[in-house]
Structure 1
Amino acid sequence: MTTFPELLRTLRLESGISMPAFAARIHYDRTSLHHFESGRRAAPFEVAESADEVLNAGGRLVAAWQREDQARREAAAAHRTRAAALAMSNDLSALADLDIAALQEGVEVTAVDYLGSPPAPMMGRAHVLRAEAFERLRSGHHRSSDRSDLYVAAGRLSGVLAYALLDLGDANEALIHADAAGRCAEYAGDAELAAWAAGTKSLIARFQGDYGRALEFVRDGYQWVGSGHGTGEARLRCGEAQCLANLGDSKAANEALDSAELARERMRRGDSLEGLFGFSQAKQSYYAGSSLIWLQGGHDAERAAREASAAIALWQAGPEAERSLDDERLAHIYLATARIQLDDVEGAADAIGPILSLPAEDQISWIVKRADRLAGMLAAPRYSQNRTAIETVRLINALTA
Structure 2
Amino acid sequence: MTTFGERLRQLIAEHEISQRKLARLVPCDDGFLSRIANDRRRPSPELAARLDELLDAGGELAALRPAAPPPSAPRGGIEEEIEALELARRVAASEVGDGTLVALEAAVDELASAYALTSPSGLLLRIRRHLGYVSTLMDVRMTLAERHRLTVIGGWLSLLAATCDIDLGEDLIAAARLRTAAQLAEHADHPEILAWALETRAWQQLTDGNCREAIRLARGAQEVAPRTSSAFIQATAQEGRAWARLGAGPETRDALARVDRLVEPLAQPDRPEHHYRYDPTKREAYTATTLAWVGDPAAESYARGVLARLERPSGGPARPRRAASARLDLALALLAGDQPAQAAHTALEAVESGRLVPSNHWRVTQVITAVEARGVPEAAELHEAYLALCAPSRQSHGPGIG
Category of TM-score, reference length = shorter chain: 0.5 to 0.7
1:115 aligns to what? Answer: 116
Paired with 2:328 and 2:29, the residues of 1 have a C-alpha distance of 44
Paired with 1:330 and 1:273, the residues of 2 have a C-alpha distance of 18
SS of 2:232's equivalent in the other structure is: helix
Paired with 1:150 and 1:291, the residues of 2 have a C-alpha distance of 37
Given candidates 339, 358, 364, the residue that maps to 1:344 is 339
- Using a 3 Å threshold, how does the CA distance of structure 1 residues 280 and 318 change in structure 2: closer, same or farther? farther
> Is the CA contact 1:235–1:284 (under 8 Å) kept in the aligned structure 2?
no
List aligned pairs for 1:68-147, cutoff 5 A.
103=101, 104=104, 105-140=106-141, 142-147=142-147
Deviation, 1:125, is 1.1
2:258 aligns to what? Answer: 259
2:17 aligns to what? Answer: none
Paired with 2:210 and 2:377, the residues of 1 have a C-alpha distance of 36
> Is the CA contact 1:292–1:304 (under 8 Å) kept in the aligned structure 2?
yes
Is 1:371 matched up with 2:350? no
2:36 aligns to what? Answer: none
Higher-Rg structure is: 2
SS of 1:197's equivalent in the other structure is: helix
- Using a 3 Å threshold, how does the CA distance of structure 1 residues 132 and 226 change in structure 2: closer, same or farther? closer
Moved more, 182-191 or 123-132: 182-191
Paired with 2:271 and 2:29, the residues of 1 have a C-alpha distance of 25
Deviation, 1:319, is 4.0
1:205 aligns to what? Answer: 205
- Using a 3 Å threshold, how does the CA distance of structure 1 residues 314 and 160 change in structure 2: closer, same or farther? same
Given candidates 367, 387, 394, the residue that maps to 2:377 is 387
Is 1:400 matched up with 2:394? no
What RMSD in Å do the two structures reach over aligned CA positions?
2.8
Given candidates 344, 349, 355, the residue that maps to 2:350 is 355
CA deviations 1:72-107 (Å, max 9, x no partner) are xxxxxxxxxxxxxxxxxxxxxxxx989xx8631422
Is 1:285 matched up with 2:275? no
Letter in 2 for 1:183: Q
- Using a 3 Å threshold, how does the CA distance of structure 1 residues 272 and 121 change in structure 2: closer, same or farther? closer
- Using a 3 Å threshold, how does the CA distance of structure 1 residues 268 and 242 change in structure 2: closer, same or farther? same
Unaligned runs of 5+ residues in structure 2 are 1-27, 31-95, 392-402
2:71 aligns to what? Answer: none
> Is the CA contact 2:182–2:197 (under 8 Å) kept in the aligned structure 1?
yes
Paired with 1:266 and 1:156, the residues of 2 have a C-alpha distance of 26
Letter in 2 for 1:182: A
Paired with 1:266 and 1:97, the residues of 2 have a C-alpha distance of 42
> Is the CA contact 2:341–2:371 (under 8 Å) kept in the aligned structure 1?
no
Is 1:334 matched up with 2:329? yes
1:305 aligns to what? Answer: 300
CA deviations 1:280-332 (Å, max 9, x no partner) are 2343333233233333x3xx2x23223322332332315445x5532321110
- Using a 3 Å threshold, how does the CA distance of structure 1 residues 188 and 315 change in structure 2: closer, same or farther? farther
What is the percent sequence identity of the aligned residues?
Answer: 22
- Using a 3 Å threshold, how does the CA distance of structure 1 residues 113 and 173 change in structure 2: closer, same or farther? same
Letter in 2 for 1:107: V
Paired with 2:326 and 2:108, the residues of 1 have a C-alpha distance of 27
Is 1:249 matched up with 2:248? yes
> Is the CA contact 1:198–1:221 (under 8 Å) kept in the aligned structure 2?
yes
- Using a 3 Å threshold, how does the CA distance of structure 1 residues 353 and 191 change in structure 2: closer, same or farther? same
- Using a 3 Å threshold, how does the CA distance of structure 1 residues 189 and 273 change in structure 2: closer, same or farther? farther
Moved more, 311-320 or 326-335: 311-320
Unaligned runs of 5+ residues in structure 1 are 1-95
Deviation, 1:158, is 0.4
Deviation, 1:274, is 5.0
SS of 2:213's equivalent in the other structure is: helix
Letter in 1 for 2:377: R
> Is the CA contact 1:271–1:278 (under 8 Å) kept in the aligned structure 2?
no
- Using a 3 Å threshold, how does the CA distance of structure 1 residues 164 and 150 change in structure 2: closer, same or farther? same
Moved more, 102-111 or 200-209: 102-111
Paired with 2:270 and 2:29, the residues of 1 have a C-alpha distance of 27
> Is the CA contact 1:231–1:267 (under 8 Å) kept in the aligned structure 2?
no
- Using a 3 Å threshold, how does the CA distance of structure 1 residues 118 and 260 change in structure 2: closer, same or farther? same
Paired with 1:334 and 1:315, the residues of 2 have a C-alpha distance of 13
Deviation, 1:217, is 1.3
SS of 2:220's equivalent in the other structure is: helix
Equivalenced residues, count: 292
Could you tell me the TM-score, scaled by structure 1's length? 0.65
Paired with 1:139 and 1:319, the residues of 2 have a C-alpha distance of 43
SS of 1:276's equivalent in the other structure is: coil
